[in-house]
Structure 1
Amino acid sequence: MKLYIKNMVCSRCIMVVKTELEKLGLQPLDVQLGEVELAQGANITSSLDQIEAALHKFGFELLTDKKKQLTEQIKTAIIELVHYPAEALKINLSDYLSGRLHLEYAHLSTVFSDTEHNTIEKFFIQQKIEKVKELLTYGEQSLSEIAYLLNYSSVAHLSTQFKKVCGVTPSVYKAGQFSGRKPLDEV
């Protein structure tokens, strides 16, 4: 049986969810960002309220609505793509999501927009900008290296998009005159 959980964005989230489920006597077979696989005969119907309460303490939400579950899967796929890439981000987003979730992109886009009141593309851009903020904060890479890593066509394109989302240029942000990183679950 699968549980879908909102606001899981990092490996610490996985650890917390796994620990909380184990405290409730459930033995998760697999815990990934946004999803938990429980053993096939696990009777959790009587435990759903307990699971919900345990997860809620840490800012997680148990998702039972199919559209919200799919939306969370889309968000998780984008977060993994942007924040935990295996290589430079050189992939067509619609192809990536369709292949990963085995659904037509038009359907994914409609469900996401209906649920989030935002487009997949805007969410993707917001995630990329949060990654840019993170990389600028560390100061280990130049803006042109960051632009390449996140598949921007140029530094100018990255800077324009950054300013549109944040209201300041990457240079102003890096100089420390602006703060505003958001937790991934709030983007």
Structure 2
Amino acid sequence: MKLNLPTILTLLRIVLIPVLILVYYWPNSWTNIAAAAIFAFASVTDWLDGWIARKWDMQSRFGAFLDPVADKLMVAVALVLAVQHQPTQWMSLWVSVIIGREIAVSALREWMAEIGHRSKVKVALLGKIKTLVQMVAVTCLLFREDFLGLPIFAIGEWLLAGAALLTLWSGLDYLRAAWPSLVDQND
């Protein structure tokens, strides 16, 4: 395996996970800002590594495998931190929907690849919109404080609810695309 810039950025996201946790729990008044900045930086590297890989033809099998793993790990950890800060039924529901859908869609993609139908469940525009809303929501939830008179945490909660609904919608789209293969008796 040869490391290239997109793969290094992906590995950096994985390395940032324990850093995010340590910073989040560090007993200082600025740690919420630092945690939000770490997550926002990781979100930008998620977009950047894919753009670099496509633009300069640096795509690799390892990178294609590792990128969604890094994304899902970072988001799941950040969502768990958010629920720990605000352990309400709604927050728990939205986080469970998002994490559960990620696990289900990952399993669906793996199974579809196994039967040679991976292209039926490739990432669609709706999934990209869901990811953008989710990344902004999580950044707001980690930031937690009002900023310029705006209730950032409350905005994050509403965006998270929107991301959860988009998550369900995109998950149903993936399931609908895969359904003929799922019920095909010849596979």
Fold-level similarity (TM above 0.5): no
TM-score by length of 1: 0.30
Instruction: Compute the TM-score of the two structures, normalised by the length of structure 2.
Output: 0.30
Bigger fraction of residues in helix: 2
Q: Which has the higher contact order (CA 8 A, sep 6+)?
A: 2
Indicate the structure (1 or 2) with the bigger Cα radius of gyration: 1
Higher strand share: 1
